[in-house]
Amino acid sequence: MDALHELTAVELRDRLRAGELTPAEVTEHFLARIAARNDELGAFSRVTADLARERVATLGPPSGTLWGMPTGDKDLFARAGVPTGFGSRALAGFVPEVSDGVVLDLDAAGTVSLGRTTAPELGFPAYTEPLAGPVARNPWDLERGAGGSSGGAAVAVAAGMLPFAPGSDGGGSVRIPAAACGVVGLKPSRGLLPSGSGVEAPGGLVTNGPLARTTADTALLLEGMLARRADGRVAHPYTLRTEAASPGAYLAAAQRGEVAGADCGQGGAHGRGARFRLGVTTWSAWDDYYEIAVSPGATAALDAGVAALAGLGHEVAEHRWDPAPEYGDAFRSLWMGGASAVPIDDEAALDRLEPLTRWLVGRGREVPARELVEALRTLSAFERRLIAGMGDLDAVVTPALAMTPRPVGWYDAEDPDRNFRQQCQYTPFTSWLNVAGLPAITVPTQWTDDGLPMGIQIIGRPGGELTLLALAAQLEDVLRWPERRPPVW
């Protein structure tokens, strides 16, 4: 039998369902992987081995979409009774009494949490190097960072410490670390998931999403995050929602590389040989605010992805959205405004925040209500313009990142304004999709000469996850990225 971490998540699920493996065997295998590698990689801020074994003992017979599958809770997700630090020294020792919805949803799907995956302080940075520790290191080069804020989740998946992992994405926090670590990361449409839908977040920015090594594994975790249904429909707590495809449709799209029928508003039947209409751009909403330069490594990865898509028979053409000179100020106002609500008011606790977070919170609490309302109005208009600007395209392709994964310590630790600029220059293609609420997936397309993964981002129409998964699956057939393993494997 293959070593369990060599199996895809779909294969692991199938063997569990067939009784060829037990949840206890799977749990112990991955706990051993974590024990052997976590000190070096920093994927987990806390390992909860005893709780995982207790969970396995209470699972009962096979049930649930992800019965017996190991995963981890991002350290921004509260789990009742488990210390949750949110990557911050200011919140060390906090033990929540109530679990977040995403934790409850995955528990209901049958997963076994092995611990808490590392996140940067309160999820704000696009890198995962919290002073509270540990630093999430890139499995392809330990001197490089993993991206953020779901950095620990991406490291755990890329290094075979988990078959898949959930993350959250408020400005790229699933897609950035997935791209940096050479795995697949999906940000769903706003309102698709019942927990972490984005509807409840300021400006609708933050959605939860899956990370995995393969497209099908990504889709499988997405299915688990949608598993709690009533009469076949996802039970949403809000009026606003994106209609989900039928159960199993996301996994089917990822396994077959096609979108069948008109499920979830996807027009027509696109098979592996059928053509999608794709736009390609290096435009960014940050172009008029910061100096944005797409590095040769990012350009090469984009060229490789576009060439593969064209070779698959898709119609590919250059695309550009209208300039958005007002975007930068509006996004900064909203980002800081969101930080103002951090539930820390004690000055001593505020002083324990890292410089970037302390700056965001302080500046955010100075943002006038009128400025915040105007920012929200500006970004709402940006959303409408961006969606309209897709025209009749099925998807738009961009670089995933503008640079190769950054060295640990690269971001300015003392000047938060420069730090924020560095983040936007590293990842200029992600935050505006949170503003627009559009789905997007990042996949690796190429490795640099020194072994660093680089990739592309594919942006879908509202509710376009099926198309994104089908395109990613087709690319995976050609580029075969799951066959590559980092040196720490």
Query: In angstroms, rounded to a whole number, what is the distance separating the alpha carbons of residues 330 and 343?
Result: 23
Contact 102, 134 (CB under 8 A): no
Contact 118, 40 (CB under 8 A): no
Please say if 99 is a catalytic residue.
no
Choosing from 99, 113, 149, 431, which is the catalytic residue? 149
Other CB atoms within 10 Å distance of the CB of residue 8: 17
What is the identity of the amino acid at 288?
D
Choosing from 173, 189, 195, 197, which is the catalytic residue? 173
Please say if 74 is a catalytic residue.
yes
Query: In angstroms, rounded to a whole number, what is the distance separating the alpha carbons of residues 25 and 56?
Result: 10
Please say if 246 is a catalytic residue.
no
Residue of 301, 271, 315 lying closest to 467 (CA atoms): 271
DSSP codes joined into one string, 260-329 = -TTGGG--S-B-TTS--EEEE----TTTTTS-----HHHHHHHHHHHHHHHHTT-EEEE--PPP-TTHHH
Contact 319, 281 (CB under 8 A): yes
Query: In angstroms, rounded to a whole number, what is the distance separating the alpha carbons of residues 273 and 127?
Result: 38
What is the identity of the amino acid at 175?
R
Query: In angstroms, rounded to a whole number, what is the distance separating the alpha carbons of residues 289 and 11?
Result: 46
Catalytic residues: 74, 149, 173
